[in-house]
Amino acid sequence: MTTAETLYVIAFSVYLLFFLLFARFFVWKNYSERRYWNRRPSITDEELVDLAHKLGKQVPFISVLVPARNEPVVIENTIRHLVSLKYPRNSFEILIVTDEKEIQGTRDERQGVLNEVQDLIQRRLTGSHVSQKAREAIIAVLSELALAEFLSKKFEDGYSLGIPELCLLPAKERQLIVRDISIEIMNCKGAPKMKTLRGIVRSTCPWLSELDIDRIYPASLAVSMPVLAAYTRLFDDTNYPVLKKAINHTARANHELTQDIILRMTEFIATRVATELKSAAMTKELEHKLIGALKDMYPTTQEVVTSVQQDLKLHHLKYPKVKHIVVPFDFEGSLGGARTGTSVPSTKGRALNWGLGFLDPRSEVCGFYDAESRPHRDVLLYVGYRRLLDPEASRVLQGPVFQVRNFYSMSPFCRIAALYQAIAHDWYLPWLFRRLPFVGGTNVYVEKNLLFEIGGWDYTVLTEDLELGVRAYLLNSAWPEYLPYHSSEQTPPNFKAFFKQRLRWGTGHLQVVDKLEDELMGEPGERNKIRIRLIVKGQVEWVAYQLATFVPPTAMILHYKNMLDPHIVPPAGHLMLSMFSVVYLGFTVYAFRRYSGYLDTSLEPDGLGSWLLVYTGLMLLPLAAFMFPVPYTAALVLKAVGREPRAWVKTPRTGERKLAV
């Protein structure tokens, strides 16, 4: 064979190897379904209680812990979901573990906003230089004042058209709509999209019909005009072009109101609102209103948790106990550790170790979830069932996590990464347990006594979950068992956040490998065996995958330079290579359809063009595959030069539609 023919045979063989490696997915699928998914028991609360009675045991008490620092966007929905899990209500509890440093940071931030507003009023700062939070807090206060004016004054006939529709809404929702529409108009420079404004009304009042929304959003626009006018007059006279655009938009939306009527109404109300705000600034009233607005728009996790607790009590529904645990700023981090008097860096392991000190004395099993988790509603029944039948084998239960819920808020790359991560947890994770005691940190249940025997979580490692699984096995022979009940979560919405998260995972993996080398943990032979398997699963596979990503561009360059001779392979072989690409892309679409039930439908595209963009994004698989191993390669490189990350960085969240009570 010529050199060109040899190179083509090598390239062809590599592509064939890639496909064979890909085909392992179907082996894993068969294994996971046959061994776990198709063997899930069907059990109810009553049947679990009867089983415990027959075995002469109590229903296992389960404590579910959720670390939540800077998680106000998602924590309410998570609590409402967790309290609805199927299990005897007096046999489980939920512990939300927050961080005192969040309270301290928010207190300082709010004081900074108050100082900004004071500087604005005293003309030491212009509106164009104010922070977004300060601007939005002012608009919130102006919205409240403008609504009060509209609802308390008797205008000429034409002035009040549209306002009766707003009067039919609850006061809180009415103010939220006007506030959010005013902020949206300001942010989009006076030309908001009707779809966006209608979306604000719909998300605030989900019970409204489309006809109701048609009436309410123009009325809300009309009330927003004096808000923007007052802000422009008081703080930012460069904003008049924005106000003019907004008034034109409002006139088009309100068919009953002419632009002249809207202008006169806006001028009248804005004058009164501006006067009232100036008066409030001379007392503590404005400060109180601003703090209230900031708490409403930018609450702390602690404020949200407290609000949900009060709401659950108000409805007198039979829910499990929800505890709110705050980690002191100076807690040193280890299980049963002391307070140092000085601030200690926050990590997930540190928060969980503090939370373990507040378990119900009856607790037998501890479950762990992230702040945006939505576990399967039957998961506790299965955990209790396995605990009753085989407490030794079920000391550690790890379930799959489908990080796809914010799919429609992700970039195309992150969408593809999320789908393949879900497939891996769905099919590959049971197979992985044959080789490694992997613990994923969420949707995991650990025997309480085991946790305390091994000393809780390692708060210094960036992947405290993997470290816990390895240590539980080496010290107590506790090997994880697959839990065939999913939990849905979010994935970082963009590549930057994705890179940081995976870089932390990769760095943490390397930390665990180093720890097994440096510390005398467990029996030497077993420790060395696990260490070698971690190296193969980590460093070896990362390098191999990264090198594999260079094969396609290398083959393209060789082909462009006429250094490949495809004639050495028969036409059927070329057709097979083409079909491989079809299979890869088809499988990606299949994964999207398979996990579509776990996506947040409130963000779903509403037009054919938008849906085409979603499916077109999935076709970027070849480019996305090239980027998958980059964070792990970066972890290796950074460690080699001593620049690896050492601080625990949390993953950003995406806003979600509020769940009903």
Q: What's residue 1's pLDDT?
A: 79
For residues 286-307, give the mean pLDDT.
Answer: 96
Asked if residue 161 belongs to a domain, the reply is: yes
CB 427: neighbour CB atoms within 10 A?
21
Q: How far apart are CA 240 and CA 141, in angstroms?
A: 20
Asked if residue 276 belongs to a domain, the reply is: yes
Asked if residue 614 belongs to a domain, the reply is: no
Q: Look up tokens 């891996």; give the residue.
A: 424
For residues 183-202, give the mean pLDDT.
Answer: 82
Asked if residue 503 belongs to a domain, the reply is: no
Do 178 and 143 meet the contact criterion of CB atoms below 8 Å apart?
A: yes
For residues 106-110, give the mean pLDDT.
Answer: 96
For residues 44-52, give the mean pLDDT.
Answer: 97
For residues 26-33, give the mean pLDDT.
Answer: 98
Asked if residue 148 belongs to a domain, the reply is: yes
**DSSP one-letter code for 472:** H
Q: Where are the alpha helices (DSSP H) in 188-258?
A: 194-204, 210-235, 240-253
State residue 235 phi and psi, 5-degree precision: -125, -25
Who's near 612: CB < 8 A, 6+ residues apart? Answer: none
In the three-class reduction of DSSP (H, G, I as helix; E, B as strand; rest coil), residue 458 is classed as coil
Q: Token pair for residue 235?
A: 């703080």
Q: What's residue 527's pLDDT?
A: 95
Stated pTM of the model:
0.92
Q: Look up tokens 């393949």; give the residue.
A: 420
Sign, CA torsion 95/101/104/105: negative
Q: How confident is the model at residue 211 (pLDDT cuts 50, 70, 90)?
A: confident
Q: Is the pLDDT of residue 5 over 60?
A: yes
The share of the chain scoring above pLDDT 90, in percent, equals 72
State residue 490 phi and psi, 5-degree precision: -100, 160
Q: Token pair for residue 280?
A: 């409030």
Q: How confident is the model at residue 247 (pLDDT cuts 50, 70, 90)?
A: confident
Query: Among candidates 204, 173, 186, 203, which has minimal Cα distance to 132?
Result: 186
Who's near 397: CB < 8 A, 6+ residues apart? Answer: 383, 386, 444, 445, 446, 480, 481, 482, 483
Stretch among 208-212, 407-411, 456-460, 653-657 having the lowest mean pLDDT: 653-657
Q: What's residue 52's pLDDT?
A: 97
- CA distances from residue 335 to 69, 338, 401, 444 in whole angstroms, order as listed: 19, 9, 26, 19
Do 230 and 281 meet the contact criterion of CB atoms below 8 Å apart?
A: no
For residues 299-304, give the mean pLDDT.
Answer: 97
Query: For the segment 112-143, what is each residue's pLDDT rounded down to a tens digit?
Result: 999 999 988 888 777 778 899 999 999 999 99
Q: How confident is the model at residue 162 (pLDDT cuts 50, 70, 90)?
A: very low
Instruction: Give first-to-last CA distance, the chain, whole Å.
Output: 72
Do 465 and 504 meet the contact criterion of CB atoms below 8 Å apart?
A: no
Asked if residue 582 belongs to a domain, the reply is: no
- The one-letter code for the residue type at 319 is Y
- CA distances from residue 246 to 150, 193, 266, 367 in whole angstroms, order as listed: 19, 11, 11, 51
Higher-pLDDT residue of 210, 632:
632
Do 258 and 251 meet the contact criterion of CB atoms below 8 Å apart?
A: yes
Who's near 216: CB < 8 A, 6+ residues apart? Answer: 165, 166, 169, 177, 201, 205, 208
Query: For the segment 523-576, what is each residue's pLDDT rounded down to a tens digit?
Result: 999 999 999 999 999 999 999 999 999 999 999 999 899 899 999 999 999 999
In the three-class reduction of DSSP (H, G, I as helix; E, B as strand; rest coil), residue 21 is classed as helix
Asked if residue 61 belongs to a domain, the reply is: no
Q: What's residue 365's pLDDT?
A: 98
Q: What's residue 157's pLDDT?
A: 44
CA 544 to chain centre: 30
State residue 97 phi and psi, 5-degree precision: -105, 110
Q: What's residue 253's pLDDT?
A: 67
Do 495 and 627 meet the contact criterion of CB atoms below 8 Å apart?
A: yes
Q: Token pair for residue 625?
A: 């595959």
CA 417-75-180 angle, 5° bins: 95
Query: What angle in degrees, to the nearest 10, is found between the helix axes of 301-314 and 100-121?
Result: 110
Q: What's residue 480's pLDDT?
A: 97
Query: For the segment 370-410, what is each residue's pLDDT rounded down to a tens digit?
Result: 999 999 999 999 999 999 999 999 999 999 999 999 999 99
Sign, CA torsion 281/283/284/288: negative
Query: Among candidates 441, 531, 425, 422, which has minimal Cα distance to 482?
Result: 425
What are the helix and strand counts (H, E) for the chain?
28, 10
Q: Where are the alpha helices (DSSP H) in 84-162?
A: 100-121, 132-152
Q: How far apart are CA 177 and CA 422, in angstroms?
A: 37
Q: What is the CA radius of gyration of the chain?
A: 29
Asked if residue 334 belongs to a domain, the reply is: no
Average pLDDT, the chain: 91
Q: What's residue 222's pLDDT?
A: 84
Mapping DSSP onto H, E and C, the string for 325-378 reads: EEECCCECCCCCCCECCCCCCCCHHHHHHHHHHHCCCCEEEEEECCCCCEECCC
Domain count, the chain: 1
Residue 246 belongs to domain spanning: 126-282
Q: Is the pLDDT of residue 12 over 80?
A: yes
Q: What's residue 257's pLDDT?
A: 58
